[in-house]
Amino acid sequence: MLKHTQNWLPRWCADMRTFLQLALLAGLLAAVPAFAADAGKDADKDTYDQDSILKDAVDFFGSSTEGLAKVIEKAFKDHGRPNGYIKGQEASGAITVGLRYGDGTLKLKKGATRKVYWQGPSIGFDLGANVSKVFVLVYHLPGTEKIFQRFPAVDGSLYYVGGVGINYQQRDKIILAPIRLGVGLRAGASIGYMHYTRKKTLNPF
């Protein structure tokens, strides 16, 4: 009888260890979707959804066009949800190659806001000048101070449909996507870079 008990006890202990290991593994696997869901919710808190951006853009421009919805859809398809945006205005002038100056208010989803200015060279397709509104989607900006640098244009990124245009500017992981409507498209694609500054300056470089 003692011999039988001695043989049975190690097997029982091994089975119990296996059971506990499987239970622990099952618990960890069950927790993974919850962790992923929480991470997704945290990311959503810091970014804007497509419907909110479209509504803000329509309110800002004062009109809704099929082109505006499509360029915003294009931006979300290319880069996902922005964590901020800039509402501003620009003045540009061109004789083939032109200059662009602008100012606006940067707002991050986390709540931070900051006045910003920008200037830089641009492509102009005719002779003249204009003032227009611009709505800039902002991606992966860790804080408002990080906006103050030069952002080179992404070659070939100009997308135009139904009277609305968008192009991308990028520095490291930070991406800016200015959206312009109507006459503001005349000099819509930047050459080189756009320089974002804390104060207004006439120096485009």
pLDDT digit string (tens) for 93-134? Answer: 766 677 889 999 999 999 999 999 999 887 766 666 678 899
Band the pLDDT of 2: cuts 50, 70, 90. Answer: very low
How many whole angstroms separate alpha carbon 27 and alpha carbon 133? 54
Percent of the chain with pLDDT over 70: 70
Same domain, 10 and 76: no
> Across-strand partners of 181?
164
Residue 41 pLDDT: 55
Residue 36 pLDDT: 40
How many whole angstroms separate alpha carbon 151 and alpha carbon 86? 15
92/90: higher pLDDT = 90
Domain that holds residue 22: 1-45
Same domain, 89 and 108: yes
Domain total of the chain? 2
Residue 181 pLDDT: 87
Residue 52 pLDDT: 97
- Amino acid letter for position 71: V
Same domain, 86 and 158: yes
* φ and ψ of 165, to 5 deg: -130, 155
Prediction pTM value = 0.77
Mean pLDDT calculated for residue range 169-197: 84
* Structure-block tokens of residue 98: 């032109």
54/65: higher pLDDT = 54
Same domain, 87 and 179: yes
Same domain, 144 and 178: yes
Is pLDDT above 70 for 42?
Answer: no
